[in-house]
Structure 1
Amino acid sequence: MGSNPREDKENEASSPTASVGHHSLSAPVTHSPKEVWKKGGRMFSVLLAINLVLLACTLVSSGAFNQVAVHDYDVFFMLTIVMLICIAWILFYLLVTAKHQDAILCKDSHAGPVWLRGGLLLFAIFSLMMDVFKTGYYSSFYNCLSAIKIIYPIVQAVFVIIQTYFLWISAKDCIHVHLDATRCGLMLTLTTNLAVWMSAVTDESVHKSHSNSSAEGCNCNTQICQIFQNGYFWLYPFNIEYSLFASAMVYVMWKNVGRLIDHHTHHAHHLKFKLFKRTFFVGIILGLFILVSGLAVLIVYEVQVNDKSQPDKKNEALIMYYIFNIVCLTLMSLVCIGGSIIYRFDKRDMDRHKNPTRTLDVALLMGAALGQYTISYYSIVAVVASKPRDAISALNLTYSLLMIAQHTFQNIFIIEGLHRQPPEEEHKIDPHRKGVYGLTFVNVNAVSLRVPDGGSALPSPVPESLGAVAIQPSDVVQSIIVPKKVKWRRKFLKEISLFLLLCNVILWIMPAFGARPQFDNDKELNFYGNPMWATIVDICLPFGIFYRMHAVASLLEVYIMS
């Protein structure tokens, strides 16, 4: 599993069974202890990650409840320690491991594309801003708070800076020295990001449920304290996405440890990112309209739902929110179905080469969608089984059904697009047909009259044994017509990808920045009860939010590959 293919070949060559392979019975192949340990090195790092994740999950969940004698500063202390260990290992990797001779024999061209690293850098900047606000907020209570609450955001800021630099320059590395230490270090970094993500999600949920309470009874009376508190709270979604983006990139690096890439089968797709080339601007215009409309709906929703003086405005805000999402999800579902139909006529071959990045993308899309699936099915059961059935209930039911359908159709479209070969490789011009592609008009009848029985379309046919290729008249016409059809298909796929990308952006913004109809609508709360429904939403909604941002990154890749 984690063995080196080069060593495997050497073992086979030196094995006594290699020379007697023609016999029906051969001695069993024995593996060297070093090779067995390399296979076990990956398993050891996985077990280390599982134990760390369980420990972090236990502490974070325990610190979220007042009845449990585990405080949030205990969680911060644990996270600070593991982040310091990760910082030390990253510095060791950059200064020692990566500088070792023959450390990086090859690079994975699919790992860490520039748009993914750019998104990571953007989220890192906002995460640093959040750490500044959080440090200022906790510094206002330095007399009545534990010092670890002030130290934690400072250490987290250092961790974000070093990790972002590490992933920016090393995301494509296939390291071949210090294999076991690198695997364990990467898994430690991955679990640290997941622990920070769990802590941020829990802290955000607790903040929403206790929005008027201050930290450990300390009063936040000054205006600057209120600014710091509101500032770091609104920046939480960016920090959450940063942790998940970093976890995904670290996982791909872990998969590439000790990997040897066959350059004959591993095609590096050096595709140029040209945003508005070969598009009709329909997708971008319609997507921007949905994005701007969604922002307006979000602002009105937040104002009306939080307005305690006019309770009737809450129902109007819910109706407006559901109608917008129903329209948006319907358009997205239809567009995804149209894109899947276009793929049925796409002649590009499927890319079946080993690609850990694509495998992870597909797994994250399918896994993260389960969060929204769960919420939708619970909502469907609550709406159908409860009475009375009013307009909001009908809209909620339609919204939940469309959410399931849209996730399904979008996953099919994205996964199929990620597995297609790039057009540059699929439609290379045959050197024997270069002259044909330069034609602007062909008289098919004239060409067909000049072709003798069983002959070639060329004036002076040359035998195929001499290296020439016979071109039939139908091939001449097809050579000119087919690329034009392909061009139209590519344009439609690009329009679809841009439209879906912008729609997913607004569907990420709305729940990430406070639109929670799951709590504002009392139907599910009354049916399941506050503890059960709050637990379901708090666990599943972060996965649904992450799905949208991950879909944005995947759709950007589909756009470039189309």
Structure 2
Amino acid sequence: MAHLAQIKVPLMEPIQTSPKLTPNVSFAYQPGSRRHTGNSMDPEDQPAAPESNGSRRPSLFNALPRMSFSSHKKHLMEFLQRHGSKLSLNPKDESKAIPPAMMDMRNKNRAVAEDQFSTAISALYAKLLIVLGIAFPITDVVSESAPHHFYRGFYLYLYTLSFVFTIFLYVVQFRHNVKLNYILGQYSEPGGIIPETLRPKEPRLGSFYLRVGAIAFGIGNMVYSGLEFGQYFELKRDERCQNVLIALIPAARMALCIVQMQFLFFSSVSQRHMIRHKFISRFGLMHMLATNLCEWLYVIIEEAKHEIVHIAHEGIAHQHGAATAAMTDNGFSSGPISLNATIAHLSKRDVLTAPTLYGFECHRTNIMGSLVQNAAPFLFPCTIEYSLICAVILYEMWKKLREAGRGGNGSRRSSRKSLTGRSANMLSIDCSNAQRGMFGGILVIVLTIIVLIMYFVLQKEKYYQRVATIEVTISEIILYTITTFAVVWAMFQMRDLKFSQKKGDAGISLDCTLLVLAQIGIYIYCMFSIIGTFFSIGVSEHVTAYSLVAEIVSLIQTSVQTLFVMNAWWRRCKGAKQNRTKPGREIITFLLISNMSIWFINTLIKTNASFRPTLMKFYGIWAWTIITHISMPLAIFYRFHSTICLFEVWKNTYKVRYEHN
């Protein structure tokens, strides 16, 4: 108590005379009082700070015991408001207690959380659709209890919703263009021409040649769908055959193919419009991606089923001698379902196949059915490759939309460039230092055409079918060996070129992503072929070591070529000497044309499961047909897309550039 008496009187007087500390004012109940609220103390109600008479100002620590009740309350309320507390006793005044900066931070945090949630739920939605796209066709094939084509409504839902989403984006784009034209009209030149600098240009995903290839595959897809649509008019007027969905599904697929090609490869729908409707755009892009993948899976399963029925009806098993009994025994007799029972089951359920041997016949005529059967081996790879290209491009659009939602600078930088690392509006080609590679590639093309003609001629003769297969296999070995050495030599010649990957460029481009995905098909086909051929050597007299060597060399060649393309994609010439000599360009020209030759062989010959009767004997009709129809379309697309990637390397690596800061 002694030290309290030493406190100066001027500091004590405000505390003694303050009416705020009297029991009657601070603690007595008053009807008009604002006690128990966050606004009980106003700044003007606080006592004025006394002036210090001494030379030293008292420290904050020493002044804390002398602070009034109102000062304590003020500091407590400021602390709670600064840290965004929700402990206010008056919930109606919560918004007034939070500063604007805190409200902005809270809104941004909630926006980021909602953005991540919409991304996750859209991906989950696409995953669910893809799983249904796998389950429905497989159930229709393997189960006898399920109604025939019970899932057609699911595909109608996929096509319809994708079509509606695309139309929605076109409407948004049209409204934006109307407003933009009105605004730009105010700045137009006297002649009525709007300056090009005022019109924003959006880059398109993928290279020009990838878009051209996708359009070609899309045309094949529409032809395939049109033939399926024409089959509806050959069905009998019977309730067991007439189903409007048989005609509606191919028609919807054709309409979606046209709109989707316009949207992905011709339209200038900007990413800005999709960002404005981010939630709808995410679900729409994921829905279209799932639609393309489901269509891909549906075509694979349907074509595998058709080829199994075709093999059984045509008696291909009997044309290969000892393969007949082995296919029946190894493929089906060991299981619960025999070969004849399986073919009967598939024929009964497939009303659109050629005239069936079992069940009710729905066809009045078989003109369109025979056209589909003959053209399907060449058209269904177009559907698969078109769906793959569209799915990857849609995924890239969805990924860019997600990156734009994070507010990073990468999206702004990448929007000025295409994913190939070059300008989207300039095209110039220099054909120097490529003559010898071009003539070497032309020679390979000519020899490949001769091999194909010989194969189709010999295949018609029963006693020369084995010779025809060996001829194609030896040609593959020679072609794969030459191209493997060519790739290694090109890598050696291009080792000194500048590796130019800028900070804003993606780690792997869209074209390289497609190449890596398509390579999976070659790996699947080669590995199953190597395993089946290895264990069949010595068991059957029709098995030769040529098939084993061909698949091993093919596996090596595609691995080396993929690594070369992914490395050479970022190579650029530096200096006058490299710009003059262009090291490796002749070999790239040769590889480009050689991959076209391999593409012809895969498309015209190896798409049929019956090309390898030994593997059909080893795995069985079901297994080998499914393996072939899953892997070979990807292998065909790999060879096609390799020509695109090699041409991009051929054009961009050796182009003379002028650096602009």
In structure 2, distance between residues paired with 1:518 and 1:377: 15
Distance 1:40 1:276, change over 3 A: same
Conserved? CA contact 2:537–2:543, under 8 Å: no
In structure 2, distance between residues paired with 1:516 and 1:263: 43
Kindly report which structure 2 residues correspond to 1:152-163, keeping only aligned pairs within 5 A, or say none: 152-163=249-260
Conserved? CA contact 2:354–2:370, under 8 Å: no
**Aligned residue in 2 for 1:278:** 432
Q: Are positions 1:78 and 2:154 aligned together? A: yes
In structure 1, distance between residues paired with 2:608 and 2:243: 36
In structure 1, distance between residues paired with 2:236 and 2:168: 34
Deviation (angstroms), 1:220: 6.5
In structure 2, distance between residues paired with 1:68 and 1:351: 58
In structure 2, distance between residues paired with 1:264 and 1:93: 22
SS at match of 2:398: helix
Q: Are positions 1:364 and 2:517 aligned together? A: no
List per-residue Cα deviations over 1:40-76 (Å, max 9, x = no partner): 22222111111110001111222334646253x3343
Conserved? CA contact 1:265–1:353, under 8 Å: no
Deviation (angstroms), 1:327: 1.3
Which residue of 559, 562, 581 corresponds with 1:408? 559
Distance 1:335 1:233, change over 3 A: closer
**Aligned residue in 2 for 1:455:** none
Deviation (angstroms), 1:362: 3.3
In structure 2, distance between residues paired with 1:75 and 1:509: 35
Which residue of 120, 125, 129 corresponds with 1:48? 125
Which residue of 632, 643, 657 corresponds with 1:552? 643
Distance 1:136 1:167, change over 3 A: same
List per-residue Cα deviations over 1:282-327 (Å, max 9, x = no partner): 333332333343344334434543x3xx432111111111011111
SS at match of 2:401: coil
**Aligned residue in 2 for 1:177:** 276
Distance 1:522 1:228, change over 3 A: closer
Kindly report which structure 2 residues correspond to 1:472-551, keeping only aligned pairs within 5 A, or say none: 482-489=575-582, 492-493=584-585, 495-516=586-607, 519-551=610-642
In structure 2, distance between residues paired with 1:92 and 1:527: 51
In structure 2, distance between residues paired with 1:221 and 1:64: 25
Conserved? CA contact 1:171–1:249, under 8 Å: no
**Aligned residue in 1 for 2:111:** 34
Conserved? CA contact 1:89–1:185, under 8 Å: yes
Q: Are positions 1:214 and 2:364 aligned together? A: no
Deviation (angstroms), 1:196: 1.2
SS at match of 1:544: helix
Report which stretch shifted further, 224-233 or 197-206. 224-233
Deviation (angstroms), 1:186: 0.6
Kindly report which structure 2 residues correspond to 1:54-69, keeping only aligned pairs within 5 A, or say none: 54-65=131-142, 67=144, 69=146
Q: Are positions 1:379 and 2:455 aligned together? A: no
Conserved? CA contact 2:501–2:570, under 8 Å: yes
List per-residue Cα deviations over 1:399-457 (Å, max 9, x = no partner): 01111111111101110122335x5xxx5xxxxxxxxxxxxxxxxxxxxxxxxxxxxxx
Distance 1:204 1:225, change over 3 A: closer
Conserved? CA contact 2:433–2:582, under 8 Å: no
In structure 1, distance between residues paired with 2:242 and 2:373: 15
SS at match of 1:210: helix
Deviation (angstroms), 1:254: 1.3
SS at match of 2:443: helix
Q: Considering only CA atoms, is the larger Rg found in Structure 1 or Structure 2?
A: 2
Conserved? CA contact 1:134–1:232, under 8 Å: no
Q: Are positions 1:128 and 2:200 aligned together? A: no
Q: Are positions 1:138 and 2:232 aligned together? A: yes
Which residue of 220, 226, 248 corresponds with 2:370? 226
Distance 1:232 1:537, change over 3 A: closer
Distance 1:100 1:485, change over 3 A: closer
Distance 1:194 1:298, change over 3 A: farther
Structure 2 unmatched ranges of 5 or more: 1-81, 84-104, 181-198, 314-352, 654-661
In structure 2, distance between residues paired with 1:516 and 1:99: 47
**Aligned residue in 2 for 1:457:** none
**Aligned residue in 1 for 2:292:** 193
Distance 1:66 1:36, change over 3 A: closer
Deviation (angstroms), 1:345: 1.2
Q: TM-score, normalised by structure 2?
A: 0.64
In structure 1, distance between residues paired with 2:111 and 2:308: 54
User: Percent identity of the aligned residues?
Assistant: 23
Write the letter of the residue equivalent to 2:581. W
Conserved? CA contact 2:289–2:394, under 8 Å: yes
Conserved? CA contact 1:505–1:549, under 8 Å: yes
Conserved? CA contact 2:414–2:505, under 8 Å: no
Write the letter of the residue equivalent to 1:483. A
Q: Are positions 1:112 and 2:206 aligned together? A: yes
In structure 2, distance between residues paired with 1:527 and 1:67: 27
Q: Are positions 1:88 and 2:241 aligned together? A: no
Distance 1:198 1:296, change over 3 A: farther
In structure 2, distance between residues paired with 1:529 and 1:231: 25
Distance 1:485 1:205, change over 3 A: same
Distance 1:527 1:265, change over 3 A: closer
Structure 1 unmatched ranges of 5 or more: 1-14, 17-28, 428-481
Q: Are positions 1:395 and 2:492 aligned together? A: no
Write the letter of the residue equivalent to 1:512. T
SS at match of 2:383: helix
Conserved? CA contact 1:97–1:177, under 8 Å: no
